[in-house]
Structure 1
Amino acid sequence: MSDLPSDRLEPGPPFSNVGIDAFGPWNVVTRKTRVGSAQSKRWAILFTCLTTRAVHIELVEEMSSSAFINALRRFVSIRGKVKVFRSDRGTNFVGSTDNLKIDTVNVENGPVRDFIYKSGTVWIFNPPHSSHMGGVWERMIGISRRILDSMLSSVNGKNLTHDVLVTYMAEVSAIINNRLLVPISPDPDSSIILSPSTLLTQKTCGTDTTYR
């Protein structure tokens, strides 16, 4: 196995180096009528920090350049400026897919490229047919799907709205970010549990349920 990329090991603030991928879609109720309800699709953009392994999920109404730029802007506004984005070369982000009728965002052309250039961010694609190199975000996608499927199992598809799905995505992020990064210390006086959430919020919850 070769060495990890430098941006996986580089010390720095959370979400300085980010892996990104898209998943979905889900059908949500957008309008109720007398005879039924109108539905539309929603996708999720998952951002994962390459060093702290924290995740941030943004919901988008369509896989288009404008919707994707808005998701990037929301993410940067909350998490701060990003130095490096990494992703695969899947049809979600690159390629001419008009003939295939695939919903896609092409970050190599047009407004997305201009937005990334102006923000001073570098976007690095993995080589083609190298899905193993995207294990950082593919693992997070798999975990997110399993948690979300469990949440949606108790929700009638006719009652799933955009607001409910946004709330679920926030809770999925919170669950993932609360996972342990290192084993729990056997020292009874050490109540600090290191997790991505701890690194993001600087809050640790001890056995007395008070924040320290």
Structure 2
Amino acid sequence: MEHQQMAALPAERVQVAPPFTYVGVDVFGPWEIVSRRTRGGVFNSKRWAVMFSCMCSRAVHIEVIEAMSTSSFINALRRFFAIRGPAKQIRSDCGTNFIGASRELEMDLSNPGFKRVEEYLNTQNCTWVFNPPHASHMGGAWERMIGIARRILDCMLLEQKRSHLSHEVLTTLMAEVTAIMNARPLIPVSSDPESPLILTPAMLLTLKLGSAPPPPSGSFQEAHLIRVQWKQVQSLADMFWNKWKHEYLKTLQLRYKWQGKRPNLQEGDVVLLKDNQAKRNQWPVGLITKTFPEEDGLVRKVQVEIVKDGARKAFSRPVTEVVLLLSSKSDSVN
């Protein structure tokens, strides 16, 4: 498989912004619940969960939905906006429910046929960005959160029989999972007795320090913090972002893989298009018809055209999903 040097962090990961201004979204599940009891037994149905992950503070918010449909997702999105406030940007993969939701809300700028897009975005101040298909690594910021939530739920559901799980119990479990995840430390816990404060997403969301004693107030005097509540809130928020910039942000700069630059794929290159549902010798051969260089000049996304059933079809794929067979440069040399 091809690969390219790991891209720099998106701008929304490295700038100070209110919680859930920049959000990554994914859906996980399902779980069977008892929806109603009948004379013959119980009637079970399924529930899924939508996770909203803040790109900068790393806080999470989970909503339970009744179906993997656009309508259910839009309801969850509206509940999220009502509780956490409107977002400026939403990122997700290319799941069909996300595509449908963005179209119904007129938030997808890639389709010029939508009406009132500009008017809607001016009022909501929100855009929707889709990662390329088959590029789950580009959504790693929220995919890791899904993995954490699954592990916590597996442990909690050991104490609760699945056949007796109700909608109310599942919703409560999701609230508990949210609290646990938002209480996780973002940086290694310091052994310095002069720095007892642990940086967590909950510190910003609740503006409470839990059992830890309040640290020095910086520009505010301690007596003022006790008497004037708004100054205490401001002090805690400033404290979070100061630790976020000086301790957490530098941990994001490391590239653990894909550290070196490789030659860019170019238009005219002949490639194999990876297909997980087919054997390797049955992968279709395609031609790169368009590349998408990023700000650093490196190509991490391409458009591949193949011929299938006598018709030409174009697919947008990350470079990790193609295998270079013949470079267009070699043709020009020969």
The TM-score with structure 2 as length reference comes to 0.56
Deviation at 1:177, TM superposition (A): 0.7
Deviation at 1:9, TM superposition (A): 1.4
Partners in 2 of 1:42 and 1:112 — Cα distance?
Answer: 26
Identify the match of residue 135 of structure 1 among 140, 143, 160. 140
- Counterpart of 2:170 in structure 1 is 165
> Secondary structure of the equivalent of 1:107?
helix
Deviation at 1:24, TM superposition (A): 0.9
Deviations 1:34-63 (A, max 9, x none): 221011111100000000111000001112
Query: Retained in 1: the 8 A contact 2:185–2:198?
Result: yes
Q: 2:50 is aligned with what amino acid?
A: I
Deviation at 1:111, TM superposition (A): 4.8
Q: What does residue range 143-154 of structure 1 map to in structure 2 within 5 Å?
A: 143-154=148-159
Query: Retained in 1: the 8 A contact 2:102–2:128?
Result: no
Change beyond 3 A, Cα 1:155–1:112: farther
Query: Retained in 2: the 8 A contact 1:22–1:92?
Result: no
RMSD across aligned positions (CA): 2.2
Query: Retained in 1: the 8 A contact 2:69–2:97?
Result: no
% identical aligned pairs = 54
Query: Retained in 1: the 8 A contact 2:51–2:60?
Result: yes
- Note the residue ranges of structure 2 that are not aligned, 5 or more in a row: 1-5, 108-115, 214-235, 237-334
Deviations 1:58-84 (A, max 9, x none): 001112222211111111111111000
Are residue 109 (structure 1) and residue 114 (structure 2) matched?
no
- Counterpart of 1:85 in structure 2 is 90
Q: Which structure has the larger Rg over C-alpha atoms?
A: 2
Partners in 1 of 2:9 and 2:174 — Cα distance?
Answer: 29
Deviations 1:133-156 (A, max 9, x none): 010111000110111011111211
Deviation at 1:198, TM superposition (A): 0.6
Deviations 1:155-194 (A, max 9, x none): 1122100000000000001111111012233332433211
> Secondary structure of the equivalent of 1:68?
helix
- Counterpart of 2:13 in structure 1 is 8
Partners in 2 of 1:14 and 1:108 — Cα distance?
Answer: 21
Partners in 2 of 1:29 and 1:126 — Cα distance?
Answer: 36
Q: 1:142 is aligned with what amino acid?
A: G
- Counterpart of 1:181 in structure 2 is 186
- Counterpart of 1:103 in structure 2 is none
Query: Retained in 2: the 8 A contact 1:65–1:112?
Result: no
Q: What does residue range 198-209 of structure 1 map to in structure 2 within 5 Å?
A: 198-206=203-211
Q: 2:83 is aligned with what amino acid?
A: I
Query: Retained in 2: the 8 A contact 1:55–1:176?
Result: yes
Identify the match of residue 155 of structure 1 among 145, 160, 170. 160
- Note the residue ranges of structure 1 that are not aligned, 5 or more in a row: 95-105
- Counterpart of 1:33 in structure 2 is 38
